[in-house]
């Protein structure tokens, strides 16, 4: 999947409660943990991609979220998790 910053902004805007920029903290934008998971599923490379829950708690701002979504979208086979080769 080839996603652009505009794709990330549009997706985030569907869950945000107001305007935001990269420095906006997620709670200020109205983005909660369920919204994070929904965004992850949307941009994950495959349906069986694994989402690193520990990484989710490190995401604090919209900029952090966009960087993480970019990483997730750029890892087509495993959603950022290492593959065991099977």
Cα–Cα dist 28/80, whole Å: 27
- Could you please report the per-residue DSSP string of 6-68? HHHHHHHHTT-SS---TTSBHHHHT--HHHHHHHHHHH-SSTTPPP-HHHHTT--BHHHHHHH
Percent of the chain at pLDDT exceeding 70:
85
Q: 44 vs 21, which has greater pLDDT? A: 21
Domains and CATH numbers, the chain: 5-73 (1.10.1200.10)
pLDDT digit string, tens, across residues 24-57: 999 999 999 999 989 998 988 777 778 888 888 8
pTM above 0.85, yes or no: no
């Amino acid at each position: 999947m080839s996603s652009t910053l505009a794709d990330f902004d549009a997706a985030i805007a569907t869950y945000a409660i107001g305007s935001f920029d990269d420095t906006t903290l997620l709670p200020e934008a109205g983005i909660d943990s369920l919204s994070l998971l929904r965004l992850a599923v949307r941009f994950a490379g495959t349906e069986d991609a694994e989402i690193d829950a520990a990484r989710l708690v490190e995401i604090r701002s919209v900029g952090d979220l966009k960087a993480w979504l970019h990483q997730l979208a750029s890892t087509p086979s495993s959603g950022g998790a290492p593959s065991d080769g099977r």
